[in-house]
A = this chain, B = another copy of it.
């Protein structure tokens, strides 16, 4: 609406609006909706519990969000990460309860848009509908890739794949610098993502770093030293993976 609006959407951590969000719809209406529903969540805060009723669409503007499910005995599986520019609607087939827990892993700015409002927005913009469908498709592709490795992959394969996936997603939003990036996860959480115990995550990553394939420091700043070899271990073609899990901009 005014330049303040644009500025408001731009976070201090992001030099620019996540390109995928701005590509959603050129109209100012989206920005208005996002801005008016924008909220900040501190790291670790839980936006929604598994099974809780949910009638909103979440647009992540900045920060990391995790979608997860837990077994009765407290084991947790992270189903997907939601990164800046992503849109998720956690509702199940019945369209009113969330099938997953939603948790901010870092400080996150999120537009929590009521489904009714969102539906109106979609109604008005075919671009936005296309964009949403693209985002859903890429989430499905990512989940499929991970399911393949959860079912059939070794620990090395799962870790290598997980890191490449995050590398590509972070690259797409300008958060990778010289093959170096940060993930706001503990080894425990990386294990919940890749289906491994935290102990085995540690062993596996140490093995990879001893082989000079990557480096990690205690802040979980990761540098990929040998992408070729990582891709080999993960069993992916990086270029192909990129087109299938990253929405075209």
Task: Write the residues of chain A forming the contact surface with B, with a CB cutoff of 8 angstroms.
Answer: 51, 67, 69-72, 75-77, 79, 89, 91-95, 97, 99-100, 134, 136-138, 140-141, 143-148, 150-153, 192, 194-195, 235, 240, 243-248
A90 nearest CB across to chain B (Å)? 9
Contact residues in B for A146 (Cβ distance below 8 Å): 147
Contact residues in B for A79 (Cβ distance below 8 Å): 144, 147-148
Contact residues in B for A246 (Cβ distance below 8 Å): 93
Q: Is the CB of A240 within 8 A of B51?
A: yes
Q: Is the CB of B141 within 8 A of A92?
A: yes
Interface of chain A: mostly helix, strand, loop or mixed: mixed
A140 to B143, CA, bound (A): 9
5 A-B interface contacts by CB (under 8 A): A70-B148, A95-B134, A95-B137, A99-B144, A99-B145
Q: Is the CB of B245 within 8 A of A77?
A: no
Contact status of A77 and B244, CB under 8 A, knowing A95-B137, A99-B144: no
